[in-house]
Every structure is written in C-alpha cells, then in structure tokens.
Amino acid sequence: SQQGEEDPQALSIQEGENATMNCSYKTSINNLQWYRQNSGRGLVHLILIRSNEREKHSRRLRVTLDTSKKSSSLLITASRAADTASYFCATVNTGGFKTIFGAGTRLFVKA
Amino acid sequence: GAGVSQTPSNKVTEKGKYVELRCDPISGHTALYWYRQSLGQGPEFLIYFQGTGAADDSGLPNDRFFAVRPEGSVSTLKIQRTERGDSAVYLCASSLGGGSGANVLTFGAGSRLTVL
C-alpha cells in the first residue's frame, strides 16, 4: 500500500536553481521523512520532521509540514548535478512503526 | 554488520518456482521491513517485524508471500509459485524501532527478482 502522493512526478532544473517537491498523505502520522534514491540503488534517509514541528533545516534541505492540510514540502537550495535522483516522502503512523512511501519525484539537475 | 545486506542481489527464476530472499539487518536493529519496488514506482510496503513477530503484514499481496524472522535478526521473504507479476526489486530496511518514535530506516541495496 502507498499513502503519500508526490508532485511533481518529474522535475528538470538547471544547476544552481532551487527544487521544490510536495507530498500529500491521508492518515494521522507520528512523523514524516524524506528519502533519496539514486538509480539502481537503495534509499537513503535525508531528513525527518515530527508531527508537532512545522519546519526543519539540514544543510541545503528545508522541509515543511502542515498537518492540517496533510502535506509536506522538500526544498533543495542551490541544486547540483549530483542531486539528480528520485525523492520519496514516507509517513510513520501514530502508535507504531509502519512506514509508507509515496510514488516519488524524479529530479534531474542539468549541469 | 555495518549495513543492511540483501542476498541474492539478482535472481532469475521461472514461473511457478519457489524463491527465497534474505535480509541481514544492522546489528541491534529490532525493526525490519520488506518493500517491493517496480520500475518508476515508490517502495510498496509488504511487512514489518518488531523482533521476531510480524507487527504488520497487511501489505503482503496474497498467500504466496510469506516472511519469517525466527531469531529477531535475519529475515527471509519467501515467494511460492512465482508469477511474472512478482518481478520487481525487493528492498529490505531495518531500524532501531525503539521508543524514540523517530524510526529512521536504513535500506539494503535490494534483490532484483525476474520471473520468466
């Protein structure tokens, strides 16, 4: 089963530009996480935001969470060609550890 | 171990055969997850274990799929009477699964299953 829906499905930008990806989900959550996947590889955790937080920063990443709208956004600033990958949001349900992923946004950063 | 290890990395089998995929999680991680990922899609939840028991197996598509984790460490995903539609990358992940509620997953590289 999948819970999150990301948009856009695909995003192509120039190096140096910012990239914004959005995620919507359906049920109550404990926290929301973003993962990155390079082609043919496993997923790597990027950042986590708890349900009682509204914004979180880590290096060039900024994540927002709006629990009233059940949505989150991931902003990558000053993108680099090495940021080219698929990005997935994942929600962790309240009261447990079940982690559900969205369909992902495919980001392509042109050098 | 240092990371999550999955074997085999690639498995080609014929329709109707039985397949086992193995996952060796990070030492000390109590939670273990199985996902299935098709090309261009996100990971699809199959099952997760807390210790030896399956805490949630609601994602297993049908009774041909079964997973075990008898000693609370290594897990095996078993697929009986494989079908062409089972072809996908099977991802395993583990986490501390503790009371922090954070539950960050560490993924293995996956096992690519091709059913001919």
Three-point CA angle A97, A98, A99, nearest 5°: 105
Pick the residue with more confidence: B9 or A42?
B9
Contacts of B85 (CB under 8 A, 6+ apart): B115
pLDDT at A27: 87
**A51 CB-contact burial (10 Å; exposed 0-12 / middle 13-18 / buried 19+):** middle
Pick the residue with more confidence: A51 or A2?
A51
State the first-to-last Cα distance of chain B, in angstroms, to the nearest integer. 33
Closest approach of B25 to chain A, Cα-based (Å) = 14
Taking a C-beta distance cutoff of 8 angstroms, is the pair B37, B100 a contact? no
Closest approach of A79 to chain B, Cα-based (Å) = 22
SS3 A98: coil
Tokens 């099952």 belong to residue: B47
Order of strands across the sheet that contains B75-79: B5-7, B19-24, B75-79, B65-68
**Interchain contact B60–A (C-beta under 8 A):** no
Q: By CA distance, what is A49's nearest residue in B?
A: B102
Q: Select the CATH number that applies to the domain covering B5-115 from these four: 2.60.40.10, 1.20.140.160, 2.60.40.1260, 3.40.50.300.
A: 2.60.40.10
Please report the domains of chain A, with CATH numbers, ordered by start residue: 5-110 (2.60.40.10)
Contact B50 A99 (CB under 8 A): no
Contact A43 B105 (CB under 8 A): yes
Query: How far, in Å, CA of B79 to CA of B95, rounded?
Result: 24
Nearest by CB to residue A2, choosing from B44, B56, B101, is: B44
pLDDT at A3: 60
Contact A99 B48 (CB under 8 A): yes
Quote the tokens at residue A70.
Answer: 């059940």
Query: How far, in Å, CA of B81 to CA of B115, rounded?
Result: 10
Return the domain boundaries, chain B: 5-115
Three-point CA angle B49, A104, B60, nearest 5°: 30
Please determine, for residue A1, whether its predicted confidence score (pLDDT) is greater than 60. no
Q: Could you read off the pLDDT of A78-108 as tens digits, one per residue? A: 999 999 999 999 998 877 788 899 999 999 9
Nearest to A3, CA basis, from B38, B1, B42, B16: B42
Mean of the pLDDT values across residues A61-81?
97
Tens digits of pLDDT across chain B (116 residues): 589 999 999 999 999 999 999 999 999 999 999 999 999 899 999 999 999 998 899 999 999 999 999 999 999 999 999 999 999 999 999 998 765 556 899 999 999 999 99
